[in-house]
Structure formats: C-alpha cells, structure tokens
Structure 1
Amino acid sequence: MTSLYPPMADMFGDMGVSIAYASDEEIYAQGEETDLVYQVQSGAVRASRLTSDGRRQIAGFYYPGDLFGLETGPAHLSSAEALGPTRVLVARRSTMRHRGEAGHGLERAIWQATGSELERAHEHMMLLARKSALEKVAGFLSDVAKRQRSVWSELAMSRQDIADHLGLSIETVSRMFSQLQSEGLIALEGCRRFRVASPARLAARAAP
C-alpha cells in the first residue's frame, strides 16, 4: 500500500487511464495477467483471494494514492474489487518501458513499492499467526487512523471484510470494537466511523 510522491504521481498519470468502478465491481480477477499497474484516485479497494476450500482471504485494503496489483509473478494471486464508488488510474508496464528515463524512473519506484508490499504481506502473515484478537483489531484501527490523518476515520470496508482480513469471526471483531470502546481507546459513531481517543494506548494494545 505505497503512495507515490507528487512528481512520480504526475508521471504515472501521464501514462495511465482513469477508470470509474461501482461498489463491489471487480477491477481485476485472481489469475489475470499482471502487466497493468493500478493507483487509487478516490474511494477504496479490497484485494481478496479464494482458497482451494472456497474460503475468502482478504490480503489488504488500498486508499487514494496507493499503488496496488504489484505482484512479481505472471498472474495475480488475488482479485481486486472497489469498496464503494471508486476511481482508479491504470497503466501498462510495457508502456512505461517505452517512455525513456521517465518510464524507467517510475518502473524503479514500482519495484521499490513491490518490495514494500511483500514486506507487508510477511508482516500480515505474522499478525495472523501470533497476535490475539484484541491486538489484531487494535492494530488494524491504529493503521487506518494513521493513514487517514483526520479526527474521525471512516471504514470503507464492512465488519465481515475486517474479520476476513484478520482471520477472525465477525462476532469477535464486534466484541473487540466494543472492548476498545469500553476501555476508552476509541469512540464509535455507527458501524463505519471511529475516533482514536488515545493513539499511544491503542498502539500499545496492538503490540503482542
């Protein structure tokens, strides 16, 4: 989930096409070729995959400025869907390779972002294996709040999405939200809006 610096964002925009997606509309499918690179312009995106036994795993969520679809193999290991009305900038890597130094500079930035994405995938795997339910939810909310940088943060995804991302049941996620609220770490407004009352304490709760 890596954002481009403004000059790189301008370069990417010069090479890409902006496409609007409706809520839950597929952006790319699991198994589709990976020649395209994507950047969220508005809205949010969910990356998910189906396991061999039919279960859904959510690999991550992407917000405005984020690059996604950065996989090193020939085919996507997950699919991507819009979470609500979303606009995405789409460009071909092959186009970048033919745009001289600007294209090569952007390609290098994309490879750096790919490395960061692999790191986050490893961290997410460790989170699923080692953290308690409360630590997982606290860490997730802390990350969303940091990324949105506003007093009140909006959750573009459903509680079921969060549960599938963290490897929990939806009932457990709801209980952890309530516990964090009762401890005075977050304030809730409906199902999709929250405020972090104590960033330091919430971050401490996320530590194993």
Structure 2
Amino acid sequence: MNLLTVASNREEIESLTAVFKMLWPGTAVLGANCSQEALSLVEKRRPDFLLLNMAPPSSDCLDLIRDVRLFSSVPLVVVSNDPNESTMVRSFELGADDYFLKPYKPLELVLRVKAIVRRATGTSEGESMVVGLLRLHALLHRVYVGDKEVSLTPTENNILRHMMENVGHIVTYSSLAQQVWGDDYPDACSTLKVYIKRLRQKLGDDSRRPSMILNETGLGYRLVKPV
C-alpha cells in the first residue's frame, strides 16, 4: 500500500511512518509538510491512502480536505489534537473517512485504516448496483441519480452500498458502523448523522423532509426505493 502522510513537521511524519512500517509491513510511505506539496503528490503519485496530521490552525487541514475532495476520492483519515467537536464534524462534512484524537492507539489506527482501504477496494471491477433511480458503481465511488452523476467518498460509498443491499429495511446504527469502521465505537451515531446529511445533499434528498433516506428514530435509517 502507498500511504501519504501530511504533517507540518518532519518528526510527526517520521512517527507516523514508523507506526505503519512496524504494524503494516510493506507499506510505502510518502511525506508532505504543506498543503501544496500534498495536493501535488495526491495528483501525481495517486496514493492508496491519505493521513492528515491536523495542527493549529485547524482551518489549514480543513481546507486541504476540501481541496483534495475536489478531484480525488482517496481514503482520508485525520489525526488531531483539537478536541472541539465542531472541528471533527466539519472534517467529516468535507469528506474525511475517519477522525482520531491524540493520543491515539497505534494498533487501532492501523486496523481502522486497513478496514477503510479494504472496503474502498473490495468491490470487483465493473460491479454496480441498481435500486430504482439509483445506480451505484462501488469501485469508482460514483452514483447516478437518474442521469445525474455524483462522486462519493469511500465512506459515503460504503454507507450507500450497505443501505442499497438492504433497501426497504431498517439498517441499524450498529450495522452501519460495522460496515464502515469494522466496529461500533461510542461516537458512531453522531458521526453517521454527518455522513447521512452529506449523502442526502449529494442525492438531492431534502434533509428536513427526506423521501429517500428515512430516519428510524432510535434504530437507524431506511432507504426507500427512489422512483
């Protein structure tokens, strides 16, 4: 796997590199210490994964997430020492696939990265799913709503695929968390709400009066076949 780590100082890059080389042998790690260099490497080297070390000001990292998502659906995780929930929520809204607060457990970080990569690449080429007006090309992370093409992040892709596989049925918060992160961690419910909000926006489903992805209070969500 080719991993790109982005941090403002060389020590942090070396620390993250050591973690992955020890716990995921064979990982090739690139490092970038500024947004401009990171964007250039994402475009030219096309890494399999992007790991952002968020340092003050957090707006720099948020801007980088936004800029990456303008042209790439590469799996992306943020490691941060910013405890503000609003920063975490904004990271997810802009397209991050996971968010870790420091201090983090190295093994948990690597396992979660592996889970995201596995789900992002686990669908065979050419495989697509069709539910009413929705047509999902899981490998390409693209969905069509009728003739309109929409680009998805890997996590959005996994959530929508799981819901399409269970169309008409309630998909629980726990089930979605297992599908996306491989476990049901304490903040899964609030994090999933951010992703569902983004999915609704991309699919043209009114969050105030949804007709496609419905809330099932206290349980989860249900995808209604769009016609």
Which TM-score band applies after superposition, normalised by the shorter structure? Answer: 0.3 to 0.5
Q: Which structure ranks higher in relative contact order (CA pairs < 8 Å, sequence separation ≥ 6)? A: 1
TM-score, normalised with respect to structure 2: 0.32
TM-score, normalised with respect to structure 1: 0.34
